[in-house]
Amino acid sequence: MSEGKQLVAKGRLIQEMSLKNRLIELITKWEVILCILLVVVVVFFSNMTPYFWDWFNLMNATFQFSEKAILALPMIFIIMCGDIDISIASIVALSGFVVGTAAEKGVGIPSLLLLSLLVGTVAGLINGLLITGLEMPAIAVTLATQSIYRGIPTGVLGEHACTQYPQGFGFFGQEFIPGTVIPFELVLYLFIAAIFAFVLHKTTYGRRLYAIGNSAETAKFSGINVKRMRIINFTLTGFFCGLGGFLLASRILSVRSNIATGWDMEIITLVVLGGVSITGGRGTVIGVILGSLLVGYLKFGMGLLKFSGTVMTIVVGSLLIIAVLLPRLLDLYKANRKLRMQQRS
């Protein structure tokens, strides 16, 4: 933006960046790093096992993480605003429970979907209202609702499992697009991800999310309805939890009160790994998509090598920490470079 009259700041600014510096700048971009990591994972596992680089397997493996990856998308909005939701797995269980129970009563597929979405949306809305109403940190409130939402299916279902579903219900979570090897869930995920990317990066809503994440107070003074947007974020997440519950029920065709346990942590890991700052205000959808693919294929590859789940948890846990540590070290490196250059001048 050099047109128009531009006054140069006082305090002696550092000169234009050289090409080399710009290259370093690019390579140290988080999305680029994720891309490189993803390539490393793919190349590594393709060399380690003949089963990895296989079109069907690569597609089929997405069943394992599509639902979580979908939920990571609205979670971007929540974390972007500096909030967090650790009740999402419970909402998935709650809406899954409603789907299962209703299906046993003979409810048809469209109504099941609506019901599931409705329950999820309401649960998310309650989260949002409680957080903004009580003016309490989201982590505290969703810690409580986590137990409450999980408590309902646990209390009602007890030992029971819902296993009766209408004909064709399994399509959404298990089947491929007819005539291809592309899972329906994957297509759904990519579609939703595209919408989220558009909303975050191209709309006023997205811009406002960034503003809130960086300074909620300034956002408020600038005429942004911060409370309402936070409520919308939680409600939106609830809506997608409802979708997640529906897809999960469709995939495993058996709903118990303990479905989706541990998803909260996994999904937050995806979002943070994708480069969304946990304190809000920074991140991209493409980063989270790459993060989801990275974790998904890393786990798939390790599974092929018959790594135990234990090793996988350790690897994913370490990845999360490294993901946050690395950009920090890079920043430090960049700052030091700048300093050295300045001192030389």
Using CB under 8 A as the criterion, what x/- string covers residues 243-272 for binding another protein?
--------xxxx-xxxxxxx--x--xx--x
Is 5 among the residues that bind another protein (CB under 8 A)?
Answer: yes
Q: How far is the CB of 38 from another protein (least distance, A)?
A: 18
- Tell me the C-alpha distance between 169 and 119, whole Å: 19
Is 18 among the residues that bind another protein (CB under 8 A)?
Answer: no
Cβ distance 192 to 186 under 8 Å?
Answer: no
- Contacting another protein within 273-302 (CB under 8 A): 278-279, 281-282, 299-300
Is 51 among the residues that bind another protein (CB under 8 A)?
Answer: yes
| Comparison of 36 and 324: residue with beta carbon closer to another protein | 324
Q: Tokens 């993060």, residue?
A: 291
Question: Residue 57 phi/psi, 5° resolution?
Answer: -60, -45
Is 321 among the residues that bind another protein (CB under 8 A)?
Answer: yes
Is 14 among the residues that bind another protein (CB under 8 A)?
Answer: yes
- By CB under 8 A, name the one of 91, 109, 141, 298 that touches another protein: 141
The one-letter code for the residue type at 84 is I
Is 339 among the residues that bind another protein (CB under 8 A)?
Answer: yes
The radius of gyration of the chain from alpha carbons, rounded to an integer in Å, stands at 22
Helix (H) or strand (E) holding 220: helix 216-221
Is 140 among the residues that bind another protein (CB under 8 A)?
Answer: yes
- By CB under 8 A, name the one of 116, 146, 233, 235 that touches another protein: 146
Q: How far is the CB of 48 from another protein (least distance, A)?
A: 7
CA angle (132 as vertex; 129, 137 as ends), nearest 5: 115
Is 210 among the residues that bind another protein (CB under 8 A)?
Answer: yes
Helix (H) or strand (E) holding 157: helix 138-157
| Comparison of 114 and 144: residue with beta carbon closer to another protein | 144
Is 163 among the residues that bind another protein (CB under 8 A)?
Answer: yes
How many chain residues are in contact with another protein, going by CB under 8 A?
A: 122
- By CB under 8 A, name the one of 124, 150, 240, 243 that touches another protein: 150
DSSP 280-327: SS---HHHHHHHHHHHHHHHHHHHHTT--HHHHHHHHHHHHHHHHHHH
- Tell me the C-alpha distance between 239 and 149, whole Å: 14
